[in-house]
Amino acid sequence: MEGISLEISELKVESFEPLVGQTFNLALDGRAEFYPFELVQAQVSRHSKPGGKRRQSFSLLFKGPDKYVFPQAIYRVAHDALGELKLFLVPVVLDEEGRFLEAVFN
């Protein structure tokens, strides 16, 4: 996929806020098959302090299909506007709405 191809260190919550509600395609690192996940939240950490030398902490929450197991792992995350990134995602909720995976940036 084409896109900006940002480095992880360059990512900010502002990179993702306009993309909430859009589909990202996720694949376990090293596998070819992608699964559609919706970005449902891009949120600044409540413990993050603006300013300073460190990047502001934030998290992303993705919602996807519940029929497959998605373990805690590094995933290739593809989006038309951002290109492909590698993110460490952790399963946080499985309910009637689907399976939720979270990425945290500190």
* pTM for the model: 0.84
Sequence-ordered list of residues with C-beta below 8 angstroms from that of 72, at least 6 positions apart, any chain: 88, 89, 90, 91
- Whether 103 has a pLDDT exceeding 50, the answer reads yes
Of 67, 87, 68, 62, the C-alpha closest to 76 is 87
pLDDT for residue 24 = 97
Neighbouring CB atoms inside 10 A of 15's CB total 18
| Four-residue CA torsion sign, 1, 13, 27, 31 | positive
The answer, yes or no, to whether residue 33 has pLDDT greater than 60, is yes
pLDDT in tens, 40-87: 999 998 665 556 556 689 999 999 998 888 999 999 999 998 899 999
Dump pLDDT digits (tens) for 1-29.
444 455 677 788 999 999 999 999 999 87
Averaged pLDDT of the chain: 86
